[in-house]
């Protein structure tokens, strides 16, 4: 019955356990670093660490990796740290999304090419979570994810501040002339005051929650604030568990089943998660050989209400409050009636088992299913002639009056044009206009930047308007809010219908019916299409050139086509 691996079965033995000249090289070079036979005669665990000097969200990783190593050693493994692309959300231009797949490639190839038996993945800032999981899934060795944890609540002059969400909110106040320069600078010092990722339910918190619900973290791991000492203990426990997973051969394909994606998608709805999760989930599922698409998200959205009262969908609370209220395990407990019995986590045990024992300490933060903050889920998928392959919206973060809206388009051909125009006092715009931004998609952006929450025109801000219907092929930050229709597919840059919209065209959106329409006769659109000229390539060399040829559209997850499961024969183990 014991199916546990033996030392001789370990993958790393191919490097260290053979009597040939190459293995002599591996052992002698390990000895060069001070290691000995006792170090390599055991499971070797890679730690893929996305730390850098300019990644604020992972600033604690140099310390935290020591706890992971400690756990690996405690369990009889040998830790080997492998640094990887850090992808700091605010600093990397044009957008980290352009590089998510680069991290995924790096992670996959680091795992494949090194003498390791299993891997601990350290990430959390937005794209690092999907990038690492995509790569590790394709590589196929046992893998456990250590989420960075959210930073502490922001604080400024007695007020709580939330990452991102309050940047936008107070920037609008500043544009309206209601905040002084001194106040603005005070906020800069208070809004992000500890290491850890954004502490609203933005993309980072959504993706780490998604990873936990998939089963890729230890139960409860994703909600622990980075600065809480539970986080050290979780890091060490993850290291210990990684060693056991090697002996058990618990590989990602045994965890990442369709049922697991159903659970994680339910969680995304229940937490009012970021729309970015949709793209990443589709890409991660693709790596696991599972076809998961927009329809799954829409269906789940109709079943599962938003019960986590966390900003930006909720009004008050942040991730720290969420942790004190019971954290993600409490959400999972609420969802057990919807869960599949067989889905397991990195523990090797059913996710239901570790969720059942969760406690809920604050029912205003983690609501019962029948007292949601929003009765339908976080995501609506719209379709129509303007988005034949779909687009998405987060109704819970929009003013309800805009969920059914019809109005004339005001069109911006590019982000630069929008920026140059938006504050003009003579801009021809009313609150009923539908703002349209083109050429901000996966290939046009390039990299599909988070430009989808177009700023409200200054003259309307001054008049007290805080939300308008906005449509683009961009994404938006998970900390953003508003009636923003995003991820329009196909994008304008490749000639999607979005490219054909002109000022004054009537656009209608009906979220309840899941429709979006450009009310222009088909003959007119056909005429415009024949006149449309493809824009010049964004890049003529380098990684951008590669991305421009291979990144898929939003509804397919923006992975590179050649990285999707089923593209060509499996790579297999390197010849030694």
Distance of CA 510 to the CA centre of its chain: 27
Q: What is the rounded distance in angstroms from the CA atom of residue 76 to the CA atom of residue 56?
A: 32
Residues in the chain: 576
Q: Which stretch binds ligand FES (CB under 6 A): 195-203, 286-294, 398-406, 518-526?
A: 195-203
Q: What is the rounded distance in angstroms from the CA atom of residue 26 to the CA atom of residue 5?
A: 23
Site string for Mg ion, 104-143 (x = CB under 5 A): ----------------------x-----------------
Nearest to 286 by CA among 130, 161, 421, 181: 130
Say if residues 115 and 26 touch (Cβ distance below 8 Å): yes
Quick one: what does residue 57 bind among Mg ion, ligand FES, none, with the CB cut-off 5 to 8 Å set by partner type?
Answer: ligand FES
Nearest to 142 by CA among 68, 222, 244: 244
Q: Is 480 in the site for Mg ion (CB under 5 A)?
A: no
Q: Is 89 in the site for ligand FES (CB under 6 A)?
A: yes
Q: C-alpha distances in angstroms, 431 versus 457, 464, 467, 526, 552? A: 9, 10, 8, 30, 34
Nearest distance in Å: CB 290, Mg ion: 25
Q: Is 90 in the site for ligand FES (CB under 6 A)?
A: yes
Q: Is 477 in the site for Mg ion (CB under 5 A)?
A: yes
Residue from the set 10, 97, 110, 125 that interacts with ligand FES by CB under 6 A: 125
Quick one: what does residue 477 bind among ligand FES, Mg ion, none, with the CB cut-off 5 to 8 Å set by partner type?
Answer: Mg ion
Q: Is 126 in the site for ligand FES (CB under 6 A)?
A: yes
Please report the DSSP string for 100-121 in residue order.
HHHHHHHHHHHHHHSS-SEEEE
Q: Is 203 in the site for Mg ion (CB under 5 A)?
A: yes
Nearest distance in Å: CB 550, ligand FES: 26
Residue from the set 48, 57, 402, 422 that interacts with ligand FES by CB under 6 A: 57
Nearest to 284 by CA among 336, 207, 345: 207
- Closer CB to ligand FES, residue 163 or residue 345? 163
* Number of residues located near Mg ion, criterion CB under 5 A: 4
Q: Is 345 in the site for Mg ion (CB under 5 A)?
A: no
Q: Is 204 in the site for ligand FES (CB under 6 A)?
A: yes
Q: Is 201 in the site for ligand FES (CB under 6 A)?
A: no
Q: Which stretch binds ligand FES (CB under 6 A): 99-107, 194-202, 240-248, 291-299?
A: 194-202
Q: Which stretch binds ligand FES (CB under 6 A): 22-30, 196-204, 282-290, 541-549?
A: 196-204
DSSP state of 162: -
Q: Is 198 in the site for ligand FES (CB under 6 A)?
A: yes
Quick one: what does residue 206 bind among ligand FES, Mg ion, none, with the CB cut-off 5 to 8 Å set by partner type?
Answer: none
Question: Under 8 Å CB-to-CB from 216, ≥6 apart: which residues?
Answer: 133, 143, 144, 145, 252, 255, 256, 345, 346
Q: Which residue has the tokens 């508003």?
A: 482
Quick one: what does residue 194 bind among Mg ion, ligand FES, none, with the CB cut-off 5 to 8 Å set by partner type?
Answer: none
Nearest distance in Å: CB 516, Mg ion: 25
DSSP state of 122: E
Q: Is 209 in the site for ligand FES (CB under 6 A)?
A: no
Residue from the set 13, 64, 100, 197 that interacts with ligand FES by CB under 6 A: 197
Nearest to 269 by CA among 204, 201, 222, 221: 201
Nearest distance in Å: CB 152, Mg ion: 17
Q: What is the rounded distance in angstroms from the CA atom of residue 379 to the CA atom of residue 6?
A: 47
- Using DSSP's 3-state secondary structure scheme, residue 300 falls into helix
- Closer CB to Mg ion, residue 202 or residue 220? 202
- Using DSSP's 3-state secondary structure scheme, residue 359 falls into coil
Nearest distance in Å: CB 239, Mg ion: 28
Phi/psi region, residue 529 (left: phi>0; alpha: psi -120 to 50; beta: rest), is: alpha
* Number of residues located near ligand FES, criterion CB under 6 A: 10
Structure tokens at 295: 């329809």
- Residues near Mg ion (CB under 5 A) are 126, 202-203, 477
- Residues near ligand FES (CB under 6 A) are 57, 89-90, 125-126, 163, 197-198, 202, 204
């Amino acid at each position: 019955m014991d199916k546990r691996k033996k030392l001789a079965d370990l993958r790393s033995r191919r490097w260290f356990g053979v009597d040939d000249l190459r293995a002599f090289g591996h052992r002698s070079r390990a000895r060069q670093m001070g290691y000995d036979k006792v170090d390599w005669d055991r499971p070797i665990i890679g730690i893929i660490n996305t730390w850098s000097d300019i990644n604020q969200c992972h600033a604690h990783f140099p310390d935290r990796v020591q706890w992971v190593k400690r756990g690996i050693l405690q369990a009889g493994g040998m830790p080997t740290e492998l640094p990887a692309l850090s992808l700091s959300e605010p600093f990397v231009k044009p957008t980290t999304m352009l590089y998510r797949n680069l991290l995924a490639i790096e992670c996959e190839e680091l795992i494949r090419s090194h003498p390791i038996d299993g891997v601990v993945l350290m990430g959390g800032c937005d794209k690092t979570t999907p990038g690492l999981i995509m790569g590790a899934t394709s590589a196929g060795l046992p893998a456990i994810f250590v989420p960075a944890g959210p930073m502490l609540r922001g604080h400024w002059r007695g007020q709580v501040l939330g990452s991102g969400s309050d940047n936008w909110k107070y920037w609008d106040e500043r544009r309206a002339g209601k905040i002084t320069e001194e106040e603005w600078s005070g906020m800069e010092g208070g809004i992000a005051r500890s290491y850890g990722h954004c502490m609203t339910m933005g993309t980072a918190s959504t993706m780490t929650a998604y990873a936990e619900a998939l089963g890729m973290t230890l139960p409860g791991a994703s909600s622990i604030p980075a600065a809480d000492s539970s986080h050290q203990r979780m890091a060490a426990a993850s290291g210990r568990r990684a060693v056991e997973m090697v002996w058990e051969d618990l590989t990602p394909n045994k965890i990442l089943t369709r049922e697991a994606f159903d659970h994680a998608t339910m969680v995304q709805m229940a937490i009012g998660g970021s729309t970015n999760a949709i793209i990443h989930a589709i890409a991660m599922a693709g790596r696991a050989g599972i076809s998961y698409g927009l329809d799954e998200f829409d269906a789940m959205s109709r079943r599962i209400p938003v019960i986590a009262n966390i900003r930006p969908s909720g009004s008050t609370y942040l991730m720290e409050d969420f942790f004190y209220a019971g954290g993600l395990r409490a959400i999972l407990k609420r969802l057990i009636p919807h869960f599949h019995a067989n889905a397991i986590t990195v523990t090797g045990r059913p996710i239901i088992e570790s969720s059942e024992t969760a406690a809920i300490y604050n029912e205003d933060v983690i609501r019962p299913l029948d007292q949601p903050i929003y009765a339908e889920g976080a995501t609506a998928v719209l379709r129509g002639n303007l988005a034949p392959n779909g687009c998405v919206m987060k109704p819970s973060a929009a003013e309800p009056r805009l969920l059914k809206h019809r109005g004339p388009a005001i069109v911006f051909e590019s982000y630069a044009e929008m920026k140059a125009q938006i504050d003009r006092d003579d801009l021809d715009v009313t609150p009923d206009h539908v703002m349209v931004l083109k050429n901000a998609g996966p290939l046009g952006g390039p990299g599909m930047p988070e430009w989808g929450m177009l700023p409200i025109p200054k003259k309307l801000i001054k008049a007290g308007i805080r939300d308008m219907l906005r449509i683009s092929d961009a994404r938006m930050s998970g900390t953003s809010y508003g009636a923003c229709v995003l991820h329009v597919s196909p994008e304008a840059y490749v000639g999607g219908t979005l490219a054909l919209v002109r000022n004054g065209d009537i656009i209608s959106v009906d979220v309840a019916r899941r429709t979006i329409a450009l009310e222009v006769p088909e003959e007119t659109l056909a005429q415009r299409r024949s006149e449309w000229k493809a824009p010049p390539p964004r890049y003529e060399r380098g990684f951008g050139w590669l991305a421009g040829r291979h990144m898929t559209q939003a509804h397919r997850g923006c992975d590179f086509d050649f990285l999707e499961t089923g593209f060509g024969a499996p790579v297999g183990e390197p010849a030694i």
